Structure 1
Amino acid sequence: MSNRHQQHRVAVITGASQGIGAGVVKGLREHGYRVVATSRSIKPSDDLGVVTVAGDIGSADTARRVVDEALQRFGRIDLLLNNAGIFTAKPFTQYTLEDFEANISTNVAGFFHITQAVVAQMERQGSGHVVSITTSLVDHANSNVPSVTASLTKGGLNAATKSLAIEYAKKGIRFNAVSPGIIKTPMHHESTHEWLAALHPVGRNGEIADIVDAVLYLDAANFVTGEILHVDGGQSAGH
């Protein structure tokens, strides 16, 4: 492998066109990472250190194309950030079949296919790190925010994170999750920010930079695996 491929850590980021994903792309680039960014609607990047791949993350074909592009352009994959996700807050009996299938496709299949493809490459390298973005609601259900599909899917990712951390503990591959509270992104209209802030013991919503900091910490913390890192203003601790 050339020195060019050894000089920088290479990250794959899903759901990378806006919100947390776009923020993490920017944050990792500022720390010298090369990035392969994917989402349904992502546009080509002017930054030579960023390669974009448009596609549905719920598709195994998209996963293959992302991994192929990463290896072709940068020669390796050091970090996978499973950020793509959808959140549907509804009373349980009001979920439609379309709601259910969309949540399973993006949140579960969107984790499974890309993680499987990336981990196969990390096994060949003998090293790697996978971080998944979940939700603090998994740990503290809130009657004000009925969202069982988030608990069903993102809760599954928390459990899978621990399972994979143990399966790969001796193979040089770590698995962790970041479990956010409400982060100020385009997902939440400004008119809701004050109400959402009150859901957090610290009295404010999170910033995208808080998630970037968590990802950077976990990627540098070589003795940490199987961790669900709550970045939620204290929500998971209590109210």
Structure 2
Amino acid sequence: MSTSKVVIVTGASQGIGAQTVKAFLARGHRVVATSRSIAPSDDPNLVTVAGDIGEPDTARRVIEAAIARFGRVDTLVNNAGIFIARPFTQYTPQDYAAITSVNLNGFFHITQLAIEQMQKNGSGHVVSITTTLADQANHNVPSVLASLTKGGLNAATKSLAIEYAAAGIRANVVSPGIIKSPMHAEETHAALAALHPMGRMGEMSDIVDAILYLDSAPFVTGEILHVDGGQSAGH
């Protein structure tokens, strides 16, 4: 891209988030990266903010860092998320609190503040990472709380896309299948690969490429882009 953007990435210390940060930096963009345990940065194009994304104060500090360092917010990648696969009746109140804090509160607070900044510029893009299980449940992967929260983000994204279309702000979703990342131990890969019609797990680069595509597609908004090896198509 010829124009440098200011991009916020949540859940940025490892996995898809960390790869997303690298990809945007490699394309000449400036990035504000946040997670609970993220390390300080010496890169002039990267500022890091440590904190719990479910807390309003973290969202405020991230936006303030973006404005103080780079002067604007162009793109927000809502990557932070928690997934706990367990039978519905076995979820604990602690599970529920943790999942809703990161998946819902973590979306709400920072997206609200980011869109306020985007409105000042007359443009912007919010892309959120959800899960294909919200569209196509699988009895091998109990996932009610993932569907409750990430499915909610799918619906909220469509609402955001319509509400802010005239303001020049787009909202989209990348909906992954099961991706090779630090979240999944290597000994589980064969079983997880078999859950996809294409017979393999996705790579982190598959999701990063989808994020980059959506960010560079000015006529695409309200889209739920499935990157799931065919899972959402059926079984």
> For the superposition of Structure 1 and Structure 2, which TM-score range results when normalised by the shorter chain?
over 0.9
1:31-46 superposed matches below 5 A = 31-46=27-42
Q: State percent identity of aligned pairs.
A: 71
Q: Could you say which residue in structure 2 is the equivalent of 1:204?
A: 200
Tell me the CA shift for residue 238 of structure 1: 1.0
Scaled by the length of structure 2, the TM-score of the pair is 0.98
> Pick from 94, 100, 105: which aligns with 2:101?
105
The runs of at least 4 aligned residues of structure 1 exceeding 3 Å deviation read none
Q: Secondary structure at the match of 1:170?
A: helix
Q: Could you say which residue in structure 2 is the equivalent of 1:86?
A: 82
Instruction: Tell me the distance in 2 between the aligned counterparts of 1:217 and 1:211.
Output: 10
Instruction: Tell me the distance in 1 between the aligned counterparts of 2:192 and 2:165.
Output: 38
> Pick from 58, 61, 75: which aligns with 2:57?
61
> Pick from 55, 70, 77: which aligns with 2:73?
77
Instruction: Tell me the distance in 2 between the aligned counterparts of 1:215 and 1:45.
Output: 23
Mind listing any 5+ residue stretches in structure 2 that lack a counterpart?
none
Q: Could you say which residue in structure 1 is the equivalent of 2:134?
A: 138
Q: Could you say which residue in structure 1 is the equivalent of 2:191?
A: 195
Q: Could you say which residue in structure 1 is the equivalent of 2:143?
A: 147
Q: Could you say which residue in structure 2 is the equivalent of 1:116?
A: 112
Instruction: Tell me the distance in 2 between the aligned counterparts of 1:32 and 1:208.
Output: 20
Q: Could you say which residue in structure 1 is the equivalent of 2:20?
A: 24
Give the length in aligned residue pairs: 234
Instruction: Tell me the distance in 2 between the aligned counterparts of 1:113 and 1:232.
Output: 28
Q: Could you say which residue in structure 1 is the equivalent of 2:161?
A: 165
Tell me the CA shift for residue 137 of structure 1: 0.4
Q: Secondary structure at the match of 2:167?
A: coil
Instruction: Tell me the distance in 1 between the aligned counterparts of 2:223 and 2:3.
Output: 27
> Pick from 221, 229, 234: which aligns with 2:230?
234
Is 1:220 aligned to residue 180 of structure 2? no
Q: Could you say which residue in structure 1 is the equivalent of 2:91?
A: 95
Scaled by the length of structure 1, the TM-score of the pair is 0.96
Instruction: Tell me the distance in 2 between the aligned counterparts of 1:78 and 1:122.
Output: 6
Tell me the CA shift for residue 80 of structure 1: 0.1
Q: Could you say which residue in structure 2 is the equivalent of 1:3?
A: none
Tell me the CA shift for residue 46 of structure 1: 3.0
CA offsets, 1:194-229, max 9 Å, x none? 100011111111111111110110011100000000
Q: Could you say which residue in structure 1 is the equivalent of 2:7?
A: 11
Superposed CA RMSD: 0.9
Q: Secondary structure at the match of 1:209?
A: helix
